[in-house]
Amino acid sequence: MLLEFVGNHWVLFAALGVILGLLTFSLIIGEKGSVDPGAATLMINQRDAAVIDVRSAADFAKGHIINAVNVPMNGFKKQTAALSRYKDGPVIVNCRSGSQSQAACHVLRKAGFNEVYNLKGGIMAWEAANLPLTRKKR
């Protein structure tokens, strides 16, 4: 009976298989290379991790992680050479919510950066964890 149902609705079962595969990939591999605000704080304090903020200059000016470097996402690929001094140490990339910074992490990894992490949840998660922001320029 189950085989007959699957045979009659094979398209739905194929779609279910694809969805389950993508969900599994997202849960297992998608989070690899991400850190939550607490882990990011430890990396900054204990390992002197560099923080790269890919938000616009205006958003960066409203508040950013202390000692963060602002490299806006538009034109980010052209700026990777300027970030080469951080290539051998841990780098944490953040944006507003964590999605744009994920793309920036991919660019940095392709450019040969050894240890790149996405700040899971971005500045929104950082603020939700009651961690400090500054408006001072470096």
pLDDT average per 10 residues of sequence, the chain (138 residues): 82 84 64 88 96 97 96 93 94 95 94 95 97 87
- In the chain, what are the helix, strand and coil shares in percent, each to the nearest 5? 55, 15, 30
Tokens 């991400």 correspond to 34
Per-residue pLDDT at 138: 65
What is residue 77's predicted lDDT score, i.e. its pLDDT? Answer: 92
> Is 95 in the active site?
yes
User: Residue 26: its pLDDT value, please?
Assistant: 61
Same domain, 17 and 44: no
CATH assignment at residue 118: 3.40.250.10
Residue-by-residue DSSP string for 66-100: TT-EE--STTHHHHGGGGGGGTTSEEEEE-SSSHH
Q: Per the structure, how many domains does the chain have?
A: 2
53 and 17 assigned to the same domain: no
Catalytic residue from among 50, 54, 71, 95: 95
C-beta of residue 91 within 8 angstroms of C-beta of residue 132: no
48, 105: one domain: yes
The residues pairing with 117 across neighbouring beta strands, listed in sequence order, are 92
Res 10: pLDDT = 87
- The confidence score (pLDDT) of residue 3 equals 82
- Regarding whether 101 and 57 lie in a shared domain, the answer is yes
Q: How far apart are CA 40 and CA 26, in angstroms?
A: 21
**Is residue 135 one of the residues assigned to a domain?**
no
Question: So what's the pLDDT on residue 27?
Answer: 60
Please provide the distance, in angstroms rounded to a whole number, between the alpha carbons at the two ends of the chain. 68
Question: What whole-number distance in Å separates Cα of residue 56 and Cα of residue 1?
Answer: 57
Segments forming the whole domain that contains residue 10: 1-30
38 and 21 share a domain?
no
**In-domain check, residue 138:** no
Domain identity same for 52 and 19: no
Sign (positive/negative) of CA torsion 117, 79, 98, 25?
Answer: negative
